[in-house]
Chains A and B, each alone.
Chain A
Amino acid sequence: MAQAADLAAPAPLARARAIAAADWLPHAILWVGIAIVAFPIYLTLVASTLTPQEIAQAPMPLLPGGEAWHNYRTALLEGATMRLSPPVLVMMANSLVMALGITFGKIAVSILSAYAVVFFRFPLRMVFFWMIFITLMLPVEVRIVPTYAVVSGLGMINTYSGLVVPLIASATATLLFRQFFLTIPDEYVEAAKIDGASPMRFFWDVVLPLSRTNIAALFVILFIYGWNQYLWPLLMATDKNLDTIVIGIKKMIGTGDALTEWHLVMATTVLAMLPPALVVVLMQRWFVKGLIETEK
């Protein structure tokens, strides 16, 4: 009996130790990863609460200072005056208009076209589908000058519609809706036809409610996409009152010389990260779904 216990004892102990080690190591590695991911953000948060003098003395303090209220107030209401930037509140409003315009525009335009492609049979259907698909291969970056010419020809430079409308065609959203619509049972369509429901009625009463989670998932992805646009507003909005917050930060830094009011830049940077970060955290479930589904 005693002998048996002796023989059995080391095994569970070793296993327990192995499990403890296996449990401890992943946590440690994850913490290192989070530290690396979070450090630049933490430093920015701290810098946004310091005076310009505190930031300028290298190394700057690593704990928050007492200037948060003053820095955020100045940035939001006045902007970086040395660079003649508009108040950050204006920039945030511009970003919000652009992000929401792109998000809802893309969802509306692509859900309608996916509905047409899936629930109807008509001449040139596949031609249109491929025309939409091709836009995947034509990002703004490969057609900068001619797109600018078109937008300028339409008188849309320095307008909100110029910032939004050219970006609302979306192959990924159309493909996502198409994929989902193909899974809606034929019986639903048959029942609707028997009841004499028009196609638009079927769209509003059946398809749209069924698409709720897909719309939520797309909302997260597209809001971030819209809020974070860079090249497009850089080209389309030369009027500084139309600066989005991401463009505004770049202008506040200029060449990074002594004129840069880093305490305001850092407060603005926090404000630029906050809305999309909140959307990701609060809608995390849909975000992960959206990210993975749109890439299929």
Chain B
Amino acid sequence: MQRRVVFPNRVLPYVLLAPQLAVTVVFFLWPAGQAMFMSLLQQDPFGLRVTFVGLANFRAVLADPDYVAAFWRTVYFSLAVTALAMVPALVLAVMADRVLRAAAFYKTALIVPYAIAPAVAGVLWLFMFNPAIGSLAWVLKQLGVAWNPVLDGTHAMLLVILAAAWKQVAYNFVFFLAGLQAIPRTLLEAAAIDGAGEMRKFWTIVFPLLSPTTFFLLVVNVVYAFFDTFGVIHAVTGGGPAKATEILVYKVYYDGVHALNLGSSSAQSVILMAIVIALTMIQFRYIERRVHY
């Protein structure tokens, strides 16, 4: 899309674009290019010599059982977070759309967690489930569960999934509610006159009309779980115990910053880039389709 009437200046637009382009080139494009370039190189153990190794780093990463395990762990983690963040949000949005009294209060109360940093959300849950002092850990102990996320990988995974999903419910709630409010009331009234019950109205009218929102949120939540949950993992478990909560972003951070394995870390970066690009393209394809609905 273009404007018909524009200003004739020749230099001014470049001046206006300069700050954004400078930041983009220096801190985004150049480092991304570097990551791609470094993924083709290998450093000797003393960091003295680099050699061009082609795709060897990628082959090594993809053949590494740790990496493959981290990949499947990330898939599992993302699906769990997405489901746990979306289903309750949909239920709550449907309810909030229906009530008249106190509607503003409910909305505000449910939106607030959006403001909480993922790492801070992690700390809240870490505190509740701290095996020594946590209130909910105490409840679990009374129920006879040997709860210990510091030692038990499954418990740790459960904890980061809950914390990550809890924070994201607010985001999904906002979008589901906006989607619900965009559904024409006349459709629902027509269905009511035809004698459709609440459940039937939901599954035959509301849910299909909501599907663009649902699909959009599906992609956004997967992106969130893949990338933005770094803070939760870093603050709550540090990827442990014994790598039980090490997802791909955490691994690329750890291998690059702590293990200083640049070749492998760069190859992992490039793989992650491919994943982001794929997810972004899916998201933008969908936006074109939303126009028709």
Please, how many angstroms separate the alpha-carbon atoms of A40 and B249 in the complex? 26
B147-172 vs A: 1/0 string, CB under 8 Å?
00010000000000000001001110
Contacts of A256 in B (CB 8 A): 126, 130, 150
Interface status of B204 (Cβ within 8 A of chain A): no
Are B17 and A112 interface neighbours, CB within 8 A?
A: yes
Interface Cβ pair total, 8 Å cutoff: 301
Provide the residues of chain B in CB contact with A291, threshold 8 Å.
114, 171, 174-175
Q: How far is the CB of B189 from chain A (nearest CB, A)?
A: 15
B65 within 8 A of partner (CB): no
Of the four ranges (under 10, 10 to 19, 20 to 34, 35 or more), the interface on chain A belongs to: 35 or more
Are B273 and A113 touching (Cβ within 8 A)?
A: no
Report yes or no: B34 in contact with A149, Cβ–Cβ below 8 A: yes
Q: How far is the CB of A121 from chain B (nearest CB, A)?
A: 5
Question: With A29-B91, A142-B273 as given contacts, are A150 and B26 in contact (CB-CB < 8 Å)?
Answer: yes
Tell me what chain A mostly uses at the interface: helix, strand, loop, or mixed.
Answer: helix
A204 and B23 CA atoms in complex are apart in Å by 24
Query: Which residue in A132, A186, A230 is a CB contact (below 8 Å) of B20?
Result: A132
Q: A174-B20, A295-B216 are in contact. Are A33 and B110 (CB under 8 A)?
A: yes
Q: How far is the CB of B109 from chain A (nearest CB, A)?
A: 5
Quick one: which of A110, A131, A246 contacts B120, CB cutoff 8 A? Answer: A246
Q: Return B7 CB to nearest CB of chain A, in Å.
A: 4
List residues of chain A with CB within 8 A of the CB of B185: none
Known: A277-B115, A284-B108. A128 touches B28 (CB 8 A): no
With A122-B13, A189-B7 as contacts: A281 and B108 at CB distance below 8 Å: yes
B143 is an interface residue with CB less than 8 A from chain A: no
Within the complex, which residue of B10, B35, B169, B178 is in contact with A145, where a contact is CB–CB below 8 Å? Answer: B35
User: What residues on B are CB-neighbors of A148 within 8 Å?
Assistant: 257
A34 at the interface (CB under 8 A from B): yes
* Minimal Cβ-Cβ distance residue in A for B271: A142
Which residues of B, 247-293, contact A by the 8 Å Cβ criterion? 249, 252-253, 256-257, 262, 265-266, 269-270, 272-273, 276-277, 280, 287
Please tell me if A292 contacts chain B, counting CB pairs below 8 Å: yes
Residues of B within 8 A of A272 (CB): 117, 120
* B3 x A117 contact (CB < 8 A): no
Stretch at the interface among A3-11, A56-64, A68-76, A79-87: A56-64
Contact of A210 with B by CB under 8 A? no
- Give Cα A273–Cα B121 distance, bound, in whole angstroms: 9
Instruction: Compute how far the CA of A168 lies from the CA of B21 in the bound complex, rounded to whole angstroms.
Output: 11
Cα–Cα distance between A109 and B28 once the two chains are bound (Å): 15
Q: Does B40 make an interface contact (CB < 8 A)?
A: no
Out of A29, A55, A144, A276, name the residue touching B116 (CB < 8 Å).
Answer: A276
Alpha-carbon gap, A145 to B273, bound state (A): 14
Residue A125 CB within 8 A of the other chain? yes
Contact of A60 among B38, B121, B133, B273 (CB under 8 A): B133
Partner of A224, one of B17, B95, B114: B114
A58: which of B14, B133, B256 is its contact (CB, 8 Å)?
A: B133
Once the chains are docked, how many angstroms separate the CA of A145 from the CA of B255?
10
Instruction: Report yes or no: B3 in contact with A145, Cβ–Cβ below 8 A.
Output: no
Residues of the A chain whose Cβ atoms lie less than 8 Å from the Cβ of B150: 256
Asked if A120 contacts B35 (CB within 8 A), the reply is no
| Residues of A contacting B170 in the complex (Cβ-Cβ under 8 angstroms) | 37
Whole-angstrom distance between the Cβ of B173 and the nearest chain A Cβ: 9
- Across the interface, B220 reaches (CB within 8 A) one of A132, A199, A295, namely A295
Residue from B112, B175, B256, B287 whose CB has the most chain A CB atoms within 10 Å: B112
Interface residue A146 (Cβ < 8 Å from any Cβ of B): yes
Chain A positions within 8 Å of B112 at CB level: 37, 41, 277, 280-281
Among candidates A22, A154, A199, A253, residue contacting B198 with C-beta atoms closer than 8 Å: A22
> Which residues of chain B have a CB within 8 Å of any CB of chain A?
1-7, 9-10, 12-14, 16-17, 19-21, 23-32, 34-35, 38, 88, 91-92, 95-96, 98-99, 101-102, 106-121, 123-128, 130, 132-135, 137-139, 150, 166, 169-171, 174-175, 178, 198, 216, 220, 227, 230-231, 234-235, 249, 252-253, 256-257, 262, 265-266, 269-270, 272-273, 276-277, 280, 287
The 3 A-B residue pairs with the shortest CB-CB distance, nearest first, are: A228-B117, A146-B34, A276-B115
Q: Can you add 18 more A-B contacts, CB < 8 Å, to A112-B20, A291-B171?
A: A27-B99, A29-B95, A33-B88, A58-B137, A60-B135, A112-B17, A137-B277, A137-B280, A142-B32, A144-B253, A150-B30, A150-B34, A166-B26, A227-B117, A230-B118, A230-B231, A249-B119, A296-B287
